[in-house]
Protein backbone atom coordinates (compact mmCIF):
# COMPACT_ATOMS: atom_id res chain seq x y z
CA UNK A 1 0.00 0.00 0.00
CA UNK A 2 1.56 3.25 -1.11
CA UNK A 3 0.50 6.76 -0.27
CA UNK A 4 1.78 10.33 -0.15
CA UNK A 5 2.93 10.81 3.44
CA UNK A 6 4.05 14.40 3.03
CA UNK A 7 2.71 17.26 0.92
CA UNK A 8 5.02 18.97 -1.54
CA UNK A 9 6.66 22.20 -0.39
CA UNK A 10 7.72 25.20 -2.43
CA UNK A 11 11.31 25.43 -3.64
CA UNK A 12 11.60 28.98 -2.35
CA UNK A 13 11.14 28.06 1.31
CA UNK A 14 14.28 27.23 3.25
CA UNK A 15 15.36 23.84 4.46
CA UNK A 16 14.35 24.50 8.08
CA UNK A 17 10.85 25.64 7.11
CA UNK A 18 10.37 22.60 4.85
CA UNK A 19 11.56 20.20 7.53
CA UNK A 20 9.22 21.83 10.09
CA UNK A 21 6.24 21.47 7.74
CA UNK A 22 7.11 17.82 7.04
CA UNK A 23 7.33 17.09 10.77
CA UNK A 24 3.98 18.79 11.36
CA UNK A 25 2.25 16.82 8.59
CA UNK A 26 3.92 13.56 9.68
CA UNK A 27 2.55 13.97 13.21
CA UNK A 28 -1.03 14.45 12.04
CA UNK A 29 -0.96 11.65 9.43
CA UNK A 30 -0.26 8.51 11.46
CA UNK A 31 -0.25 5.36 9.30
CA UNK A 32 -3.35 3.23 9.52
CA UNK A 33 -3.25 -0.46 10.38
CA UNK A 34 -3.47 -2.80 7.38
CA UNK A 35 -4.84 -6.29 8.07
CA UNK A 36 -3.57 -8.89 5.58
CA UNK A 37 -5.31 -12.22 5.03
CA UNK A 38 -2.31 -14.47 4.42
CA UNK A 39 -4.27 -17.46 3.11
CA UNK A 40 -3.02 -18.54 -0.33
CA UNK A 41 0.11 -16.35 -0.33
CA UNK A 42 3.69 -17.45 -0.96
CA UNK A 43 5.84 -17.12 2.17
CA UNK A 44 8.91 -15.35 0.78
CA UNK A 45 7.07 -12.95 -1.51
CA UNK A 46 4.60 -11.99 1.19
CA UNK A 47 7.39 -11.46 3.74
CA UNK A 48 9.33 -9.17 1.37
CA UNK A 49 6.29 -6.96 0.71
CA UNK A 50 5.43 -6.72 4.42
CA UNK A 51 9.06 -5.95 5.35
CA UNK A 52 9.20 -3.07 2.88
CA UNK A 53 5.93 -1.61 4.18
CA UNK A 54 7.10 -1.90 7.80
CA UNK A 55 10.26 0.02 6.98
CA UNK A 56 8.11 2.68 5.30
CA UNK A 57 6.18 3.21 8.54
CA UNK A 58 3.10 1.10 7.85
CA UNK A 59 1.53 -0.93 10.67
CA UNK A 60 0.68 -4.45 9.49
CA UNK A 61 -1.39 -7.24 11.05
CA UNK A 62 -1.10 -10.66 9.38
CA UNK A 63 -3.89 -13.18 10.06
CA UNK A 64 -4.50 -16.81 8.99
CA UNK A 65 -0.78 -17.47 8.83
CA UNK A 66 -1.42 -21.23 8.93
CA UNK A 67 -2.72 -21.02 5.33
CA UNK A 68 0.49 -19.57 3.87
CA UNK A 69 2.06 -21.63 1.05
CA UNK A 70 5.71 -22.60 0.64
CA UNK A 71 6.96 -23.73 -2.76
CA UNK A 72 8.43 -27.23 -2.90
CA UNK A 73 7.24 -30.67 -1.91
CA UNK A 74 6.25 -31.63 1.62
CA UNK A 75 9.10 -34.11 2.19
CA UNK A 76 11.75 -31.67 0.94
CA UNK A 77 10.48 -28.79 3.06
CA UNK A 78 10.25 -30.98 6.16
CA UNK A 79 13.85 -32.16 5.67
CA UNK A 80 15.01 -28.55 5.23
CA UNK A 81 13.27 -27.50 8.43
CA UNK A 82 14.74 -30.43 10.37
CA UNK A 83 18.23 -29.42 9.19
CA UNK A 84 17.45 -25.88 10.26
CA UNK A 85 16.38 -27.07 13.73
CA UNK A 86 19.72 -28.85 14.21
CA UNK A 87 21.59 -25.54 13.97
CA UNK A 88 22.17 -24.58 17.60
CA UNK A 89 24.69 -23.34 20.12
CA UNK A 90 26.98 -26.31 20.72
CA UNK A 91 27.48 -26.06 24.49
CA UNK A 92 24.48 -23.93 25.57
CA UNK A 93 21.47 -24.37 23.24
CA UNK A 94 19.39 -22.08 25.47
CA UNK A 95 21.41 -19.17 24.05
CA UNK A 96 19.88 -19.73 20.61
CA UNK A 97 19.18 -19.67 17.79
CA UNK A 98 15.52 -20.31 18.52
CA UNK A 99 13.50 -22.36 16.04
CA UNK A 100 9.80 -21.55 16.05
CA UNK A 101 7.15 -24.10 15.11
CA UNK A 102 4.02 -21.91 15.02
CA UNK A 103 3.15 -20.56 11.53
CA UNK A 104 2.76 -17.00 12.81
CA UNK A 105 6.21 -17.06 14.39
CA UNK A 106 7.73 -18.60 11.23
CA UNK A 107 6.35 -15.68 9.20
CA UNK A 108 7.58 -13.22 11.84
CA UNK A 109 11.09 -14.71 11.76
CA UNK A 110 11.13 -14.65 7.94
CA UNK A 111 10.22 -10.96 7.96
CA UNK A 112 12.82 -10.29 10.66
CA UNK A 113 15.48 -11.65 8.32
CA UNK A 114 14.50 -9.03 5.73
CA UNK A 115 14.62 -6.12 8.20
CA UNK A 116 17.75 -4.61 9.81
CA UNK A 117 16.33 -5.55 13.21
CA UNK A 118 19.53 -4.80 15.15
CA UNK A 119 19.30 -1.11 14.28
CA UNK A 120 16.90 1.35 15.85
CA UNK A 121 14.98 1.78 12.59
CA UNK A 122 14.60 -1.96 12.13
CA UNK A 123 13.53 -2.53 15.73
CA UNK A 124 10.80 0.10 15.37
CA UNK A 125 9.70 -1.53 12.10
CA UNK A 126 9.33 -4.93 13.76
CA UNK A 127 7.22 -3.38 16.51
CA UNK A 128 4.67 -2.40 13.84
CA UNK A 129 4.11 -6.06 12.92
CA UNK A 130 1.65 -8.52 14.45
CA UNK A 131 1.10 -12.08 13.23
CA UNK A 132 -1.67 -14.50 14.20
CA UNK A 133 -2.98 -17.95 13.40
CA UNK A 134 -6.66 -17.74 12.52
CA UNK A 135 -8.48 -14.43 12.84
CA UNK A 136 -8.61 -13.29 16.50
CA UNK A 137 -11.41 -11.16 17.91
CA UNK A 138 -10.42 -7.56 17.09
CA UNK A 139 -9.61 -8.33 13.44
CA UNK A 140 -12.58 -10.48 12.45
CA UNK A 141 -14.68 -7.30 12.16
CA UNK A 142 -12.27 -5.25 10.03
CA UNK A 143 -11.56 -5.29 6.31
CA UNK A 144 -8.82 -7.71 5.28
CA UNK A 145 -6.72 -7.28 2.16
CA UNK A 146 -4.53 -9.50 0.00
CA UNK A 147 -1.18 -8.93 -1.71
CA UNK A 148 -1.51 -9.71 -5.44
CA UNK A 149 2.27 -9.78 -5.87
CA UNK A 150 2.46 -12.76 -3.48
CA UNK A 151 -0.64 -14.81 -4.34
CA UNK A 152 0.03 -18.47 -5.13
CA UNK A 153 -2.56 -18.46 -7.90
CA UNK A 154 -0.63 -15.71 -9.70
CA UNK A 155 2.99 -16.49 -8.82
CA UNK A 156 3.36 -20.28 -8.65
CA UNK A 157 3.31 -22.10 -11.97
CA UNK A 158 0.52 -24.61 -12.48
CA UNK A 159 1.51 -28.11 -11.44
CA UNK A 160 4.40 -27.09 -9.20
CA UNK A 161 4.49 -28.59 -5.74
CA UNK A 162 3.82 -26.56 -2.62
CA UNK A 163 3.11 -27.16 1.05
CA UNK A 164 0.78 -25.32 3.41
CA UNK A 165 2.66 -23.81 6.34
CA UNK A 166 0.16 -25.14 8.90
CA UNK A 167 0.73 -28.73 7.72
CA UNK A 168 4.50 -28.25 7.84
CA UNK A 169 4.31 -26.81 11.35
CA UNK A 170 2.17 -29.73 12.53
CA UNK A 171 4.68 -32.16 11.07
CA UNK A 172 7.57 -30.59 13.01
CA UNK A 173 5.76 -30.43 16.35
CA UNK A 174 3.16 -27.62 16.37
CA UNK A 175 0.24 -28.87 18.49
CA UNK A 176 -2.53 -26.33 17.94
CA UNK A 177 -3.56 -26.94 14.33
CA UNK A 178 -6.83 -28.68 15.23
CA UNK A 179 -7.74 -25.97 17.74
CA UNK A 180 -7.24 -23.27 15.12
CA UNK A 181 -9.41 -25.21 12.63
CA UNK A 182 -12.25 -25.45 15.17
CA UNK A 183 -12.06 -21.74 15.98
CA UNK A 184 -11.99 -20.86 12.29
CA UNK A 185 -15.02 -23.05 11.58
CA UNK A 186 -16.96 -21.32 14.36
CA UNK A 187 -15.90 -17.89 13.11
CA UNK A 188 -16.92 -18.64 9.52
CA UNK A 189 -20.28 -19.99 10.66
CA UNK A 190 -20.93 -16.81 12.62
CA UNK A 191 -19.87 -14.66 9.68
CA UNK A 192 -22.18 -16.60 7.37
CA UNK A 193 -25.20 -16.13 9.64
CA UNK A 194 -24.37 -12.43 10.02
CA UNK A 195 -24.19 -11.99 6.24
CA UNK A 196 -27.50 -13.82 5.70
CA UNK A 197 -29.22 -11.55 8.23
CA UNK A 198 -27.68 -8.45 6.69
CA UNK A 199 -28.65 -9.54 3.17
CA UNK A 200 -32.27 -10.13 4.15
CA UNK A 201 -32.35 -6.71 5.83
CA UNK A 202 -30.99 -5.02 2.69
CA UNK A 203 -33.57 -6.80 0.54
CA UNK A 204 -36.37 -5.62 2.85
CA UNK A 205 -35.13 -2.04 2.65
CA UNK A 206 -34.91 -2.25 -1.15
CA UNK A 207 -38.47 -3.60 -1.41
CA UNK A 208 -39.78 -0.90 0.91
CA UNK A 209 -38.13 1.86 -1.11
CA UNK A 210 -39.31 0.48 -4.48
Arithmetic mean of pLDDT, 104-116 = 97
Instruction: Say what the pLDDT of residue 38 is.
Output: 97
**pLDDT tier at 55 (50, 70, 90 boundaries)?**
very high
Instruction: Say what the pLDDT of residue 209 is.
Output: 87
Backbone dihedral angles phi then psi of residue 80, each to the nearest 5 degrees: -60, -40
Of 180 and 12, the one with more pLDDT: 180
Arithmetic mean of pLDDT, 197-203 = 93
In the chain, % of residues over pLDDT 90: 81
Residue 23 has pLDDT above 90, yes or no: no
Residue 18 has pLDDT above 70, yes or no: no
Residue 30 has pLDDT above 60, yes or no: no
Instruction: Say what the pLDDT of residue 27 is.
Output: 44
Tell me how far apart the alpha carbons of residues 44 and 147 are, in angstroms, rounded to a whole number.
12
Tell me how far apart the alpha carbons of residues 33 and 121 are, in angstroms, rounded to a whole number.
18
Amino acid sequence: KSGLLFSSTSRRCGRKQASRSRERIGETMAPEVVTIDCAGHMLGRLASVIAKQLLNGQKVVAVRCEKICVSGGFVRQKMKYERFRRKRHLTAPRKGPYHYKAPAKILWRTIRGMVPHKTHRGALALERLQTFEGVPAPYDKVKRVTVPAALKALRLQHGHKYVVLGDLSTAVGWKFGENIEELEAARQEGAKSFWEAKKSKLLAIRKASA
